[in-house]
Chains A and B, each alone.
Chain A
């Protein structure tokens, strides 16, 4: 069995307590919530923090609540199982509930939290390996090395963003609330990700995601989430598609389509140039085909995932088309 490196474990009971510990152990700690991503990575010696500050005791961050203006706030410590099974989420934010319910397997969802999923480390076939394996390879850009094995001449890490909930949240216009010893801030989730796979979020090491805020959704919006993977459980996505379609009152005419795909490069990709294609039109086969065509043009899978990138690119429009057809049928 792989061994965890040694660390000191801290279990604060409050946000203030956690932030105090963060100040005390500055630069020598990592936060841990469910641990389902961090601990395997630590066993691979990708991270060896001397201190782990656990957020599990921060019960104040475990909630799903409706806000005054109709938006929904979800505490960062809310488990993925709770979101997947929440009546409120399933009714108001179906694509998020679907995405949460498709993460890994049941045991992981019982432990994994929304905040943890949003902060999921990027993944790559040359990175998520043991120290022995990485040594035999000669290491890589993301950890201990200087060469990218996905893009041979690449200067920037392209490890794959693989969090299921994120593309869904971006289509819903979500923002993350962050708290650090220096104060609080809020960032649109779309702006939360940098394009660098080594550290693909703008979160500072001592910042805790406290909540995810989802604004009130337009009336007539239909959203869904598609996760493509080889097995029907456990696997990370090899392609994922979050869709939100805004229909006018007639339930047929489309105002807008939000389409975000991930498991490509280091950040989720918003498929652009859709407005002109869909606005004021019914989602006919022709229009759907045009949207799918944009997805095919803009999505570029890489060999950072061990599933044929050519095939993934080829099927991207197929799954986009199916997602749109589902949205039409849902009316």
Chain B
């Protein structure tokens, strides 16, 4: 390595800048199209001669496939092809070291809903009828449905890729002097927590279309958030050269991590298109979305935390067991993230975590908004609240006292640059009336606080490669129009708007004159996808890089024309102006024409690549990010002590996003995150019956809050101005989710005096805790009366 690890920036070029577009709130370029129905999602695409396919799924949680007879299905008029696991025998998986899935099961099925065969037919009804005609002979195997069963029954092998029984991944890392830390602690708290399984529930179900043309090029349209990885895996699994595969991602109707790896439908439409020579579409049913899952891992967590009597943390010891489901997915990373991402915003003198992911016969868990770190954050922030209470310290004050600072390094080797966490705490403290109201509200009403940090992209790609993390191509034309080509995935989070806003800032174009062409592997340069909150930081920097090259060309051409030097010119919205003589002006189209004439063409590329970061130990790169965002929430709740219902009345969200390039989009991410966390706190649960079946794979049974169940939210943007982010920006899409769950838990404690450690906080759970508390108090009362 040419550079040493974790080199700190020497200056902050983003400080003190003024902006013309950045920081304002222009509309999303695709917003009107979306609200009017004009925007095209994958399922809106209908190609001539297109077939529809359906996937036959396993009705058993664990079964060996003895025989598949599709002859009756193939004989049904309108059926064009049937494929089974044997037609695609190459394993795939998002993490190169744990590829353990097949497009369709080859030898056995591992959960209720695992794909077994796919049928392409003239329409969906015919394909559905054909599914009923496929005869599968199963040998039903015993199933394991919990990590405990997985550990106790290594002889029931869920996933043959597991080296040791049913263990999917084990990570043990220790930093600092644990023994010494606990020895000097005045208080040590040990608690057990459980985070229930939850899923993303995007409104758009997964959809894919495959087309294989006469030139031997396979095109797949998919509602994915990782076109680049899908491109690679399609080529590998279907045994096609990469230059014969094109992936196009149309607009996506929500993803939240649930579309960040390849899925069975993408391989099936591709293979069926290759066999039939006709385009093939699959649209998942809502039930299939629940089976494809990859949502939040359920985690059993034990935290032991020591602190001095003035509230300073001395040591933290975590043991985490999680249920991974049948396949690896991102599990290797999840296992690391469950420990690696807890080490800020608080200084940890000693820290250890021991995380184990187990295979079970259930749909695979994976990354959901706040991948791997939302569950530990819940546990730890509730424990901090307990410690504060025990030490009779204001919970906000306890957090302040442990603040890690800025431009520093965490105990596990993460480089922290700008850090606005204290400002976040100040903001929620003030906005919520914390000092005046906490602990003073009537019984049943309460306030709770929590903090967190999150990555702005992973420093290293999922598979080792030397390419930039992101690249952008910008083309300008003589009319004043600009087109940005970028591989990034617009999944509703606003990447197109972010890129357009940056270009307008740099080149003076009007927003209406910018078109963003994103995520088409033929048309756009590399980008690794919309995950780990990497897009603004990485694509944003790449876009600035490209735009500044064009800016230089434009200014040089204009300076020549206006007979001045480029340094004396500035680009304003719609024009180029000479600062020394403001009568000298050129409109944006004129400026572009001059530059085009001078340089022969007007296009530039830009790219972004991270510097070496992370801890110098095995796994030390996982969790390394060029910048970290910080968040604090205060939640206000009302608890109905008679029935146990928790109403989250309000959440104040303060988030350090570095710099808000488009504040309205940042606020949207903050509110969306807090909403999603709040939903997991009080409502969401994905559970399975004794046969391993999802108990209610529908949006009626898997309840997500309606607008009537959603708290009032106040977003408080904190701008710490990162030295390396685009204009100082960091992430805003995932970090703001983390504190909402522990903030609600801590508010419930303030409201009614019960500590809830198992999610979700349903009325039944809350009422039981209240009854237990009453019982404890009843028993304690005579004793307290003083030995009479």
Contacts and interface: CB of A to CB of B under 8 A. Distances in A.
Interface of A: 1-3, 6, 105, 125, 128-130, 132-133, 135-137, 228, 230-235, 306-308, 310-311, 314-315, 318-319, 322
Nearest to B131: A132
A245 B375 CA distance: 49
B139 interface: no
Given A135-B59, A137-B691, A318 B643 contact: yes
Contacts of A125: 695-696, 701
Contact of A130 (B287, B707, B708, B709): B287
A315 B767 contact: yes
A136 to B, nearest CB: 4
A315 B643 CA distance: 6
B683 A132 contact: no
Given A232-B708, A306-B701, A1 B283 contact: yes
B689 to A, nearest CB: 8
Contacts, number: 80
Contacts of A310: 764
Contacts of A129: 696, 698
Nearest to A319: B643
Given A130-B285, A230-B703, 7 more contacts: A3-B125, A128-B700, A129-B696, A232-B709, A311-B763, A311-B764, A315-B642
Interface in B25-58: 57
- Binding site secondary structure of chain B: loop
B763 A136 contact: no
A234 B59 contact: no
B632 interface: no
Chain B, interface size: which category?
Answer: 35 or more
B717 to A, nearest CB: 30
Interface in B706-747: 706-709
B705 interface: yes
27 contacts: A1-B283, A1-B286, A2-B287, A6-B125, A105-B706, A125-B695, A125-B701, A129-B696, A130-B287, A132-B59, A135-B59, A136-B59, A136-B112, A136-B691, A137-B691, A137-B693, A230-B763, A231-B703, A231-B708, A233-B709, A234-B706, A311-B644, A311-B767, A311-B768, A315-B644, A315-B767, A318-B643
Contacts of A322: 642
A306 B764 contact: no
B703 A235 contact: yes
A3 B128 contact: yes
Ordered nearest first, which 6 A-B pairs have the shortest CB separation?
Answer: A311-B764, A232-B708, A136-B59, A308-B764, A233-B706, A318-B642
A111 B331 CA distance: 45
B130 to A, nearest CB: 13
Given A130-B287, A232-B708, A232-B709, A314 B767 contact: yes
A1 B60 CA distance: 23
Given A132-B287, A306-B695, A318-B643, A234 B700 contact: yes
A133 B287 contact: yes
Interface of B: 57, 59-60, 112, 124-125, 128, 205, 283, 285-287, 642-644, 683, 691, 693-698, 700-701, 703, 705-709, 762-764, 767-768
Nearest to B701: A306
Contact of A231 (B287, B698, B706): B706
A135 B56 CA distance: 13
B219 to A, nearest CB: 23
B663 to A, nearest CB: 30
A129 B701 CA distance: 10
Contacts of A231: 683, 703, 705-706, 708-709
A22 to B, nearest CB: 27
Contacts of A318: 642-643
Nearest to B283: A1
A132 B112 CA distance: 10
Contacts of A307: 762, 764
A138 B693 CA distance: 12
A322 B285 CA distance: 42
Contacts of B703: 230-231, 235
A331 to B, nearest CB: 22
A6 B691 CA distance: 32
Nearest to B707: A233
A322 B777 CA distance: 26
A315 B128 CA distance: 44
Nearest to B127: A3
Contacts of A1: 205, 283, 285-286
Nearest to A235: B703
A137 to B, nearest CB: 6
B48 to A, nearest CB: 22
A230 B683 contact: yes
Nearest to A322: B642
A233 B205 CA distance: 22
Nearest to A236: B700
B706 A133 contact: no
A228 B642 CA distance: 13
B644 A306 contact: no
Contacts of B112: 136
Nearest to B682: A230
Nearest to B642: A318
A105 B706 CA distance: 10
A233 B699 CA distance: 13
Given A2-B285, A235-B703, A133 B708 contact: no
Nearest to B771: A314
Contacts of B700: 128, 234-235
A34 to B, nearest CB: 17
Nearest to B763: A311
Contacts of B693: 133, 136-137
A117 B217 CA distance: 54
Nearest to B687: A306
A130 B286 CA distance: 11
A149 to B, nearest CB: 9
A50 to B, nearest CB: 15
Contacts of B287: 2, 130, 132-133
A310 B765 CA distance: 11
Contacts of A315: 642-644, 763, 767
Contacts of B709: 231-233
Nearest to B132: A131
Contacts of B707: 233
A306 B696 CA distance: 9
A315 B771 CA distance: 12
A315 B205 CA distance: 37
Which of B286, B642, B707 has the largest count of A CB atoms less than 10 A from its CB? B642
Contacts of A135: 59
A122 to B, nearest CB: 15
Contacts of A230: 683, 703, 762-763
A233 B708 contact: yes
A234 B643 CA distance: 20
A267 B705 CA distance: 29
Contacts of A308: 762, 764
A6 B129 CA distance: 12
A230 B205 CA distance: 24
Contacts of B763: 230, 311, 315
A319 B645 CA distance: 12
Contacts of A105: 706
A4 to B, nearest CB: 9
A132 B56 CA distance: 9
A108 to B, nearest CB: 11
Nearest to A136: B59
Contacts of B762: 230, 307-308
